[in-house]
Structure 1
Amino acid sequence: MAVLDGYLIKPDDNILIASDHAGLELKEIFSQFLIAEKYRVIDLGPNSSKSVDYPDYAYKLAGYISNGTAKAGVLICGTGIGISIAANRWLDVRAALVHNTQTAISARQHNDANVMAIGARILNTENALACLDSFLSSKFEGGRHLTRVEKLKEKPTY
């Protein structure tokens, strides 16, 4: 998926959402919020509180982003760390771990993040929803940031 200079994630776009067991409750809250805001939510699981492995759900979501099926996604685990690491293994996935509205905004404006990762055990619901809203309402600024994001497609040569 190419970098979309200035692309705004908007209502009627497909938003993928997935979590592990620690993020299940917040995933449901996010889904309700997204539906109320008129996004088309595609819930990739899990659907029970049974313990699961976060890479399985991160890979599922990241695969859909990587192949162009969807433009944006949200991943939730206990801290957001593991699930973001797993997602970032996929080509053209730019998963940003956010922990406040400023990191959510910067992730979109400066890094063209197409996946927001968040820790359900780190933020309360109000702050987590504020992060999600900030992520969705921000757009990539392009310019000097575009050059940097394009470099992420290159294989490191160090």
Structure 2
Amino acid sequence: MKIAFGSDHVGLELKPTIMEYVKSLGYEVYDFGTKSNERTDYPIYGQKVGKAVANGDYDLGIVICGTGVGISLAANKVKGIRACVCSDCYSAKLSRMHNNTNVLAFGSRVVGPELAKMIVKNWLEAKYIGGRHERRVEELAAIESDNEQKFDELEHSKEFDGKEQFEDQSL
């Protein structure tokens, strides 16, 4: 599995540590930049990683800026990307299981190297479970494509029985 990496200058210090960690888990990695401490803009690298994942050259992406928010917003502007910002392992795991996220973002000013490694491990090891979550991922794609008709069809395709909120308590 191939993982695309990107960061702005603020995420640069943490990125090599996480890339080495991901390699130690058996993944192939590629760094889309930045490779300099010179001030740069996070949208450049969020877009590069987003495009690399969306076009299928890489399976997943990991992006880092100060908070993770800005670079995740940039990645999410690329059609087909479902990027999430995670500062904890549980959210990282469920973002893959429920939302089929394909880009993980975090902030080098928010999480340290050891927590970042745990977040990445939980995210990489989690698998999308589909099922009731598939319709929601399809709704996101309909929003992204500005397909109101498809969104409306999906929105009304299943009534909720009120029990589903308790299905994941074992996680």
Same fold (TM over 0.5): yes
Question: Aligned residue for 2:32?
Answer: 44
SS in 2 for 1:63: helix
Aligned counterpart for 2:5 among listed residues 4, 17, 36: 17
How far the C-alpha of 1:51 sits from its partner, in A, is 0.8
- How far the C-alpha of 1:156 sits from its partner, in A, is 5.8
Q: Is 2:159 the counterpart of 1:139?
A: no
Aligned residues of 2:98 and 2:133 also touching (Cα < 8 A): yes
Q: Look up the match of 1:121.
A: 109
Of 87, 92, 97 in structure 2, the residue corresponding to residue 109 of structure 1 is: 97
* Alignment size in residue pairs: 146
User: In the alignment, what sits opposite 2:73?
Assistant: 85
Runs of at least 5 residues in structure 1 that lack an aligned partner in the other structure:
1-12
Distance in structure 1 (CA, Å) of the matches to 2:138 and 2:58: 20
Paired amino acid for 1:127 = L
Q: 1:66 maps to which residue?
A: 54
Residue number in structure 1 paired with 2:168: none
Q: Which amino acid aligns with 2:46?
A: A
Q: What do the CA deviations read for 1:6-57 (whole angstroms, capped 9, x no partner)?
A: xxxxxxx110001001101111101110111121101111111111100001
Larger radius of gyration: 2
| Secondary structure at 2:104 match in 1 | strand
Normalising to structure 1: TM-score of the pair?
0.89
2:18 and 2:113 in contact (8 A); partners too: no
The aligned residue for residue 10 of structure 1 is: none
Residue 40 of structure 2 is aligned to residue 55 of structure 1: no
RMSD, aligned α-carbons: 1.2
Show the counterpart of 1:33: 21
